[in-house]
A = this chain, B = another copy of it.
Amino acid sequence: MNIKTYLYRFIQAAPLVMAAANGHSDKTLSLGVVVFDGYEPLDIWGPLELFSSMSGTKSIQLSVISHRPGLVTTKVPPSKLASKGATMATYIEATHSFADAPPLDILLIPGGVGNRALQENNDTSVQDFVAARYPSLQYLLSVCTGAAALAQAGVLEGRRATSSKAAWEWVVTHGVNVTWVPTARWVVDGNVWTSSGVSAGLDMVYAFLRHYYSDDIQGVEDMINLIEYAPHTDPHWDAFSIVHKVPGANLSESVVDCVRPAGF
């Protein structure tokens, strides 16, 4: 072929090459999630359902990280706050401690009443881990009040972020120079993704997976349809900022979101 044809075909292929270079389907993802007694189950398990489903076709190594390996409960530990949290106990197995967790590409921090118990006990291990690992992460994610730990770690300084709307007034007391966004299902600022409360983690991580596996968006859509979840796809939709009367919430936003299966 002549040089003109060769250049033309190269130019046609370049976006595909770039997209594939930006997508991660051919890599092993080292995913870490932190847990602590009294963590909110769906903050972790919504995202883990999505990553687990992707792991049928993608290579994902999961580390579940806590003070020490072993069982971690969703029951809120005894504290001044204990009367407000879950009394029913479920148990997840932590595979690693903060000290021995492997190198991570993505780290996800949940919320839950337990992170207030940590604060009561002057336990800074979660935010210390976030601060120590952030420089080597590709992405840092938080769900619900997990954003408070990110703020305490200093990684939200100069960034926009959101969090649980029910616990908003507590969360926004954390951090320095954080632009807390009161109406947002989730916020993306650089490589830091923060979501609203609990169920919002499903929507944020679905959007994240479309970004991370940009070379296989069809695979991500097939996955979300397999698990029969019709996602909220607009990060600006945040009915719960209105429900929970968050100061500064955009009250003109609709509380209704019309959702549908991916690709339909």
- Write the residues of chain A forming the contact surface with B, with a CB cutoff of 8 angstroms: 31, 40-42, 45-46, 48-49, 51-53, 55-56, 59-62, 64, 71, 74, 84-93, 95, 164-166, 196-200, 225-230, 232, 239-240, 242-244, 255-261, 264
Contact = CB atoms under 8 A, between A and B. Distances in A.
Residue in A87, A88, A92, A244 whose Cβ sees the most chain B Cβ within 10 Å: A88
A53 B60 CA distance: 30
A55 B228 contact: no
A184 B229 CA distance: 14
Contacts of A91: 64, 92-93, 95
B239 A226 contact: no
A89 B71 contact: no
A226 B90 contact: no
* Count of identical protomers in the assembly: 2
A88 B165 CA distance: 31
A233 to B, nearest CB: 13
Residue in A31, A62, A95 whose Cβ sees the most chain B Cβ within 10 Å: A62
B255 A260 contact: yes
A49 B56 contact: no
Given A59-B87, A255-B264, A264-B239, A74 B92 contact: no
A55 B258 contact: no
7 contacts: A166-B225, A198-B226, A225-B244, A230-B239, A239-B260, A239-B261, A255-B260
Given A64-B91, A199-B229, A228-B240, 7 more contacts: A40-B49, A41-B45, A41-B48, A42-B45, A55-B87, A56-B86, A92-B93
A48 B89 CA distance: 10
A88 B61 contact: yes
Contacts of A60: 87-88
A156 to B, nearest CB: 20
A81 B84 CA distance: 43
A91 B33 CA distance: 13
A224 to B, nearest CB: 9
